[in-house]
Chain A
Amino acid sequence: MQLPRVRSSCALAGLGMVNALGRHADEIWPRLVAADTTHITARDDLIPDRKLLAGAVAGALPRIPGALRHYDCRNNAMTLAALEPLWDAIRELRSAVGPERVAVVMGTSTSGVHDAEIAIRHRERTGLLGPAFAYDQLEFGGVAGFVAQLLELQGPAYAISTACSSGARALASARSLLELGLCDAVIAGATDTLCGLTANGFSALQVVSSELTNPCSVNRRGLTLGEGSAIFLVTRESQGIQLVGVGESSEAYHMSAPDPDGAGAESSMRGALADAGLEPDRIAYLNLHGTGTAKNDAMECAAIARIFAAPPPCSSTKPLVGHTLGAAGAMEAGFLWLALHHASGGRLPLIPHAFDGALDPELAPVPLVAVGAEAPLGPVMSNSFGFGGNNCSLVLQPQAT
């Protein structure tokens, strides 16, 4: 029995974003294409007795409305900041299709653990968690519940937490929920917060660099952490930038290290190409997972070299915003979206690869994007490879003309 998959259009109809580069897409885009690494700042409050660089969201965040005080944490405040430009469109959609037909799928690996750290520290001193703390802030599903309650939505609302692939998976699920007819629109994206738990945890795993992350360099020493939120309004429209390919795999290898031959990464990229019905040579740009760890960059470049006879222009955006962990898959899909959005006259502006220029000769060669580079407009891909061996690759396509 053949069970055909029902395919429908999947438009990424709007994007909201906050990260170290800025508070909205118009501020972030020029800094992204200029490879501006000056927004990564030194932090001494994350790991005891260690200063490290991190991509923090600067300045005060919007206030969580009083009625949703139990959701008041930094993770949700960044989510609220990212949602602001989408607010009117969501309200319009909600009244057009009904609140029970709008779903929420949010990726996160931290949820409100930053605020739980403050509460637990308070408890160590006083015996009490402190009046501001509520479990809704900490639980993984809280970020989706917060978005649903804030926007008065009654469709399914859940959080995906598959480490660094969470945000990419949220978009994959959004498309499938639409194809299944379980909803008519999805608020899909991801948010993660810089916090002591992840900084100390990744540091204990010896993958955090003391200097700015330096992906694909012979001098690379690990990752730079970041934070932020990227959220899309996803609909079944055939207009606009489309999510056309999803590839996914598990590694069956190790909890905190990728398979060195890149088999999982390769399967994820090949899956996304097959799902999109595209030959590899059609990809105009590839946003690397590119964490700047010795193992990631080696296996990722090896996998790319096996798939692409001539690899497309590639770059890692981790030196510009840090590794936003659970948010990275949505953030980098957002960078693809911005590049497609700014394309004109059949030319695609490319996002540069910021590093020290000392390309590691041991890596399988991939062309790294220089500032100001362009390519003929075409489909674009992003890789997200998570801790625990969870991989997801996405392909976005410009609006058909």
Chain B
Amino acid sequence: MRVRVRRHAAWAAGLEDAAAWARWCANPKELERGGKPDVAFLPALLRRRCSPLARIMLHVAFHCCDADELATASTVFASRHGNINESIEMLEQLARGQGLSPTLFSHSVHNAQAGLFSIAAHNRAASSSIAAQDDTFGCAWLEAMTLLSRDPQGRCLLVIGEVPLAPVFADLVDEPEASYGLALLLEVASGDDGIGVSLAGRSEPRRPARWPDSLEFLRFLCSDANRFELASALRRTIWER
């Protein structure tokens, strides 16, 4: 099955429109650690309950879809770390013998973004939330393919994002520390159109990445290159137009 990217939307602090991203893709620069995208489209109650990551993921999701797509696309929300900073905050509260806020608990689960999106977009379609260490973007693409394969006439909204890990764990992971999000609205391509994917094993260790995998993919998408490859610790994923 080949997949077509019908539309995309990305966010990082200072990179808020397509022209800014086109410039970044041609000439990437260090991304900001923080920043807060606009989520004025959300009702105030939902807006208050968004974690920093949920804010980013909902921002790019809503900027990637028209009203009909928002309500009907299946979704994959992917993040290596998810809302782990909120989990750490709760673990610290427990270690001090304090009780937990039911609202913080229910809005820090890995699929909190998916739940908030479903409520805000009135979307009742299939939805998955995944994580895959240093292969999170590649596996998110495959998971989106599984949803498209179960509903080949439908569209699948793939949303991926991260915020930097809290200081207590940040030194334990070697990767770019930035706040960013990318949404890709995907559909099954006809014939040789679109992008095909293939997988291969690997044995040599991975080099530390300069830019997040998902944004490297965005650079491929906005270029005229025919082939793009990502290597994780255990395998390679190859995208070909």
Contacts and interface: CB of A to CB of B under 8 A. Distances in A.
Interface of A: 1-6, 48, 98-100, 109, 113, 116-117, 120-121, 123-124, 129, 134-136, 138-142, 144-145, 148-149, 153-163, 169, 172-173, 176-177, 179-180, 182-183, 196-197, 200-202, 204-206, 246, 248-256, 263-264, 267, 275, 386-390
A253 B123 CA distance: 10
A120 B146 contact: no
28 contacts: A5-B149, A6-B149, A48-B97, A100-B199, A109-B110, A116-B88, A129-B168, A140-B110, A140-B131, A144-B133, A145-B133, A155-B199, A156-B138, A156-B142, A158-B139, A158-B142, A173-B146, A176-B146, A197-B87, A201-B105, A250-B114, A250-B123, A250-B124, A252-B118, A253-B119, A387-B111, A388-B109, A390-B114
A163 B92 contact: no
B1 A180 contact: yes
A113 B132 CA distance: 16
Contacts of B114: 162, 250, 388, 390
Given A100-B201, A163-B109, A180 B129 contact: no
A204 B90 CA distance: 12
A120 B92 contact: yes
B88 A120 contact: yes
B85 to A, nearest CB: 12
Given A156-B199, A249-B125, A250-B126, A141 B136 contact: yes
B181 interface: no
Most buried by A among B49, B81, B132, B147: B132
Chain B, interface size category, equals 35 or more
B82 interface: yes
A196 B136 CA distance: 27
Contact of A139 (B100, B112, B133, B233): B133
B145 A180 contact: yes
A124 B100 contact: no
Contacts of A142: 133
Contact of A180 (B116, B149, B172, B233): B149
A141 B80 contact: yes
Contact of B135 (A149, A157, A256): A157
Given A156-B142, A255-B106, A390-B127, 12 more contacts: A5-B150, A120-B95, A141-B80, A156-B199, A158-B130, A158-B139, A160-B128, A182-B145, A205-B106, A249-B125, A252-B119, A387-B109
A163 B146 CA distance: 19
B127 A162 contact: yes
Interface in B75-111: 75, 80-82, 84, 87-88, 90-92, 94-97, 99-102, 105-107, 109-111
B118 A204 contact: no
B115 interface: yes
Contacts of A263: 124
A4 B119 contact: no
A43 B218 CA distance: 50
Interface of B: 1, 49, 75, 80-82, 84, 87-88, 90-92, 94-97, 99-102, 105-107, 109-112, 114-116, 118-119, 121-133, 135-136, 138-139, 142-143, 145-147, 149-150, 152-153, 168-169, 172-173, 188, 190, 197, 199-202, 233-235
B174 to A, nearest CB: 10
Contact of B105 (A141, A153, A205): A205
B106 A248 contact: no
Contacts of A99: 201
A5 B1 CA distance: 10
A177 to B, nearest CB: 6
Contact of B146 (A139, A177, A264): A177
A182 B142 contact: yes
Contact of B91 (A100, A120, A180, A275): A120
B131 A139 contact: yes
A283 B114 CA distance: 31
Nearest to A5: B152
A204 B146 contact: no
Contacts of B81: 139
B168 A123 contact: yes
A147 to B, nearest CB: 11
A301 B125 CA distance: 22
